[in-house]
Amino acid sequence: MTLVEEALANNPDLQAAESRWRMAEHKVIPARSLDDPRLSFALSNYPVDSFSGDETPMTGKEIQLSQMFPFPGKLGAKEDMAKQQALWFRGVYEDAKGQLVQRVKDAWYLVYFQDQAIAITSENIAILQDFIRLTETRYEVGTGHQQDVLKAQVERSKLQDKLFNLEQQRITALADLNRLLNRPVATPMDAPKNLTLPPVDASLQQLIELSRSQRPLFGAYQAVIDRYQAQRRLKKLDYYPDFNVFAGYRQREDVPGDPVEGSDFVSAGVSINLPLWQGKRREAVAEADSGMRMARRQFEDFRNRVDFDISDQYAQMEKNRDLVELFKTGIIPQAEQSFEASLSAYQVGDVDFLNLLDSLMTSYRYQINYHRALADYGRSLAKLEAAVGQYLDPAFQTKLKPE
């Protein structure tokens, strides 16, 4: 199982988002269902002086069943509202999967960079330790300077401080990665020693267009708009009455002199509410209209933010790819050659120690910057994937958007 697959299977925040979606889905059937019927029982027309059931012809025990029927179309509108709300939470859940993948990759690339930086820094500390012994030996025999010893010791201390910071940053990044995987935060993990740059063949405009169909939140925002449209339809239907249909049966006792000789009664009827107060209904319709305008503006803002994120991360990715190539094929080989040349010249006395030290630290910085650019390329690609909503990096073998 890849790290991405593990995160998608175990991350508790993602599981909570899925539960919110499922919870909203379970509201669809209740929304389209009738209210429960009402069953009532009454003791009717009993004399208050005797409470006897056989003194008056109208006395009896009555049972009644009633059912409320909304005006046609109301239940359909309620069902549509619940469905669109469920679609919103589904889109949020699907988008959260993409965001989780991006965060896992981001933390993973940080761990990679810190591993490389720690290894390079440790190697250069060892080189400086050799330089310190060399300068001390030369100083003792009178061919070197004390300032060379002190300068080498200062640079070693600076790198040691850098190493401490990198180790602390790796602990933090690893804890964040383990948290996303729902592992104990101190679980060890090794990042790969080498990275390759997965190519992205699509153009910027193609990625922007692809996001319209692949980014789950685009469909989710449309569901919000549709929900408010269904809400408006429901509030317009509130101008019409609902119907309450009822049927009753009264059981009567025999009463002396009763012309119908204690026959039971049946009754049936219908009642409606009177939608007289138009002001509150106008406000309810206006509320739905405002909700639609709000949802459309939020949708437009989201679309603009997605376009910006794609454009920004695409530019960052292109820059880091060019930097990686520049460091790999030009700057680092030249810096290493410069250091080797300075070391050879120093050994025969043609270059002073400060120039040699500067050459070493320059090579060190370029190596660090190379791995930083390599990790930043992967991080930009991960952010680009999350913004587009489409799997682009084959290294993890997991799609952002499910089939």
Closest CA to 389 of 87, 8, 95: 95
Give me the percent of the chain exceeding a pLDDT of 70: 90
Over pLDDT 90: what percentage of the chain?
39
Could you state, in order of their start, the residue ranges of all structural domains in the chain? 3-34+71-240+278-388, 37-69+242-274
Q: Band of the pLDDT at 261, cuts 50, 70, 90?
A: low
Give how far Cα 4 sits from Cα of 7, 99, 108, Å. Answer: 5, 11, 10
DSSP 196: -
Q: Is the pLDDT of residue 401 over 60?
A: no
CA triplet 259, 264, 269: central angle to 5 degrees? Answer: 115
**pLDDT higher than 50, residue 265:** yes
Dihedral of the CA atoms 319, 322, 327, 330 (nearest 10)? -140
Given a contact cutoff of 8 angstroms between Cβ atoms, the answer to whether 216 and 401 are in contact is yes
In this prediction the pTM is 0.81
Q: Where are the alpha helices (DSSP H) in 142-215?
A: 146-180, 204-214
- The dihedral sign for the CA sequence 176, 182, 187, 190: negative
338-348: average pLDDT: 76
CATH topology of domain 3-34+71-240+278-388: Outer membrane efflux proteins (OEP) (1.20.1600)
Bridge-based pairing of strands 38-44 and 243-251 is: unpaired
Does residue 223 register a pLDDT over 90? yes
Whether residue 350 is predicted with pLDDT greater than 80 in this model: the reply is no
**More confident position, 235 or 132:** 235
Q: Output b/e per residue, 218-241; b: 16+ Cβ within 10 A.
A: bbbbbbbbbbbbbbbbbbebbeee
User: Residue 402: its pLDDT value, please?
Assistant: 35
- Determine how β-strand 243-251 pairs with β-strand 265-272: antiparallel
Mean pLDDT of the chain: 85
pLDDT over threshold 60, residue 160: yes
